[in-house]
Amino acid sequence: MRVGAIASSVAALRSPISRRPFLLPSSDHPHLAGSLYLRRARCRDGRRTMISEQFSSSPPPAQSSSSSSAPFASLARPVDGDAEAEKPLPKQRPWLIVGLGNPGKNYSGTRHNVGFEFVEAIAEAEGISMSSVSFKALFGKGFIGNVPVMLAKPQTFMNASGESVGPIVSYYKIPLKQVLVVFDDLDLPFAKLRLLPKGGHGGHNGFQEYPPAPYHFICYIWMKSVINHLKGSRDFPRLRIGIGRPPGKMNPASFVMRPFNKQEREELDFTLQQGVAAIRILLLEGFDKSATFVNSNKSMEQLS
């Protein structure tokens, strides 16, 4: 019996242990509350040590890499003496989440910049610094759960966002299905989210008026630049954030440059947090579950 118990213990130690989330029960949806992570602790000399638990509402920090050309090292470490664990693991490609907007104080806090605000909300929630400037964008790298992620806010103005997005995707060889573009949408009710697997630019070449130019014929989002710099492909997901319709006969170009009032700001902040939860689901559980979460979400008014 004693020999059998020892053999069982040794077998348990030799089996690979992967980080997995422990979901907190204090929220209606686990990804709104955060996760607890279990991971292997190792000594500096590489010998096996006891398993430890790391409890945190934010994801583990990025692992250091011996080569600057490899921005994301493998999260899994082999256990010494375990032939299966020592086999090299396939490199995990990062997700790229791009928020569209316009740089400068004149545009900060306006309806047209909710894409920027969304990326900022992710960075704050996940503890990802966006202090570096790369590829004509404010840029950050980190993890959501065990998934490597890049955040970008192109500084090219919206009509040239592709000049930033295209080179990032090309340099890091990111699959298009892992490139999420976030932007504002006049056709969605205010603070409503819509997650789509792919699509076209819908004529979104910027503000162009076609006489007699009623506002629903005006093109208001610059997606064509992104598509052009992805070799014409439209097969990347996008997240639209509703900013409502302009009142009366107000020019939509003027409307999207307006800031939010106090009530709108509260509702938008609530939606951004729901959006952060949707991103966690997207990266950790897949597109379908994330789309279901987004489409079934209730507004702040409906919950009050």
CA dist., res. 135 & res. 168, Å (int): 6
DSSP 161: T
Tokens representing 41 are 């602790």
**Those residues with Cβ within 8 angstroms of residue 299's Cβ, 6 or more apart along the chain or in another chain:** 191, 192, 267, 270, 271
Dihedral angle computed from the Cα positions of residues 229, 232, 233 and 238, in that order, rounded to the nearest 10 degrees: 60
| Cis peptide upstream of residue 212 (ω within 30 degrees of 0) | yes
Q: How many residues does the chain have?
A: 304
Instruction: Check 112, 201, 204, 216 and give the catalytic one.
Output: 112
Tokens representing 240 are 């639209």
Burial 131-140 (b: 16+ CB within 10 A, else e): eeeebbbbbb
Q: Which amino acid is at 73?
A: A
Q: Is 112 a catalytic residue?
A: yes
Which residues are known catalytic residues? 112
